Amino acid sequence: MDAVRFAHPEIESLDRDGILAIQKRKLKALGDRLQNSPEWVRHFQKAHMSPRDLGDLDALSSAPTLDKADLRALYPFPMLTTELARVRRFVATSGTSGMPVMFGLTDRDLNQLIPYQMCRILRTAGIVPGDRVYQGYGYGLWFGGLGMDLGLAACGAVNFPIGPGRGDLVVRWLSDHGYTACTVSPLWLMTLVNLAKSQNIDPRKDWKLRVGVFGGQSISAAFRDQLEAEMPAGFMAQNNYGTTEAGGPVVAQSCPYSHDVDEMHLINEDTIITEVVDPATLKRVGPGEIGEIVVTTLDRDASPVVRWRTRDLVKLSNKPYDCPCGRSGLPKIGRIIGRNDDMLKVRGVIVFPTQIEDIIAETEGAVKEAWQIYIDGEQQILEELTLAVERRASSNQTKQDIQHRIAHAIRSRLGIRVSVECHDEGSLPRYEGKAVRVHRRSAKSTK
């Protein structure tokens, strides 16, 4: 394995106490700044606190949490800590469950903070100066493409900012341009693999990809292994995690060592405090336990957040501080298990879509990147659900074989019965960005 390359050795080589000292100093400065904002003062009053109480790290656990309902109540520009004239750009949440929430970025956010954070993200994944990078994340109000562009420039890579789509062209350019890295949805890259094969392009031989940075959605370890097997020898599918509220794809990133155990470093802990807490009690969980990610941004200029509830569930590593890469002050978490609001309860059994994806990825003949869960009605505790998958056109397996194997595996592994529909390859939606896996069908639409 190549030698570890730190983007910021003065930070990444610190032990945990060194990181905590930085967090304490910056948290106090953040509290002093928020004290000048009437909206933030009112928010802290919910917990009978003031922003200046953040002078102590222990006080953070008593601070009120923040979520989209809080910000939507202050539409259209909630909790800005600078005048609007200093904002140079806005980004927004997806708005899949309501009105998108706007977050501002000042010159300092755009030209100093995000490049600093993203350079570390990309270098941790293994991208180095001179790498030719297919940048396939989207633009507009979404943070993905913007964050990657700023990071690629900061780390000295050669950026080809194609964005999502244009598959017929991209599969040729991956060969002709000699891209060595990519930042793209993993589902879209698998779609490109299949498109390339249909054009007699062999990704293993004709592409030069060495590393991919994959965010926007969690993928199963089985799917990751399948994707790596389709790539040139030695290719690593490196997981990335972030949110718009936290400042983009800047929270966590796998390195070549944590990749092998399916974990990521909380890599920017000098600029972001990340708590992993019990969703019910909001108390921090211990190593090996599952909790919700809650983030506090220490350096964001226009739109900081304090104790933002991401609703994303993750397992804190059994050994958070022992990665061979040497980043002992930047703890490790597992891949994202799912969201609180994606969690399904089927006849009393808690199920996450990623658990079902694991089974599909392991099933011979099933298309790994194309599947949907259908729920009939609006009830929260479900009696049954329907799973739609596709049969690979080149497979020797019949649709009935695939349906039976998936249904049997789900029943054996998860303890629930599902109705499995198997369709021809190409029947279900493909996603260039974040996949929507769970769909509720009204009673009318199921008749």
List the beta strands (DSSP E) in 266-356: 272-277, 290-297, 308-315, 332-334, 338-339, 344-346, 349-351
pLDDT at 262: 92
Burial class of 9 by CB neighbour count within 10 A (0 to 12, 13 to 18, 19+): exposed
- Determine if the peptide bond prior to 76 is cis (ω within 30°): yes
Residues 355-382 as b or e (16 or more Cβ within 10 Å = b): bbbbbbbbbebbbbbbbbbbbbeeeeeb
pTM: 0.82
What angle (nearest 5°) sits at the alpha carbon of residue 96, between those of residues 92 and 98? Answer: 80
Determine phi and psi for 171, rounding to 5 degrees: -65, -30
Secondary structure element (H or E) that encloses residue 119, with its range: helix 114-125
User: Taking the chain, what is the end-to-end CA distance rounded to the nearest angstrom?
Assistant: 56
CB atoms within 10 A of CB 286: 11
Supply the pLDDT for residue 434.
66
**Ordered per-residue pLDDT tens for the chain, 447 residues:** 556 789 999 999 999 999 999 999 999 999 999 999 999 999 999 999 999 999 888 999 999 999 988 998 899 999 999 999 999 999 998 655 567 899 999 999 999 999 999 999 999 999 999 999 999 998 889 899 999 999 999 999 999 999 988 899 999 999 999 999 999 988 899 999 999 999 999 999 999 999 999 987 667 788 889 899 999 999 999 999 999 999 999 999 999 999 989 999 999 999 999 999 998 899 999 999 999 999 999 999 999 999 999 989 999 999 999 999 999 999 999 988 877 766 777 877 778 787 788 788 889 999 888 899 888 766 555 777 899 999 999 999 999 999 999 999 888 888 888 899 999 999 998 776 567 788 877 654 444
DSSP 55: G
pLDDT for the residue numbered 436: 75
Q: Which residue(s) pair with 182 in the sheet?
A: 134, 212
Residues 247 and 302 sit within 8 Å (Cβ to Cβ)? no
Residues 6+ apart with CB under 8 A from 83: none
Give dist(CA 342, CA 2) in Å, integer.
38
**Backbone phi, psi, residue 133, to 5°:** -120, 125
Residue 381 pLDDT: 57
Q: How far apart are CA 133 and CA 127, in angstroms?
A: 9
The pLDDT score that the predictor gives to residue 298 is: 98
pLDDT value, residue 136: 94
| Length of the chain, in residues | 447
Q: Are 198 and 167 in contact (CB under 8 A)?
A: no
Looking at residue 385, its pLDDT comes to 84
DSSP 67-115: -HHHHHTT-SSTT-SS-GGGEEEEEE---TTSS--EEEEEHHIIIIIHH
Cβ–Cβ under 8 Å, residues 252 and 333: yes
Cβ atoms of residues 34 and 50 within 8 Å: no
d(CA 22, CA 273): 10
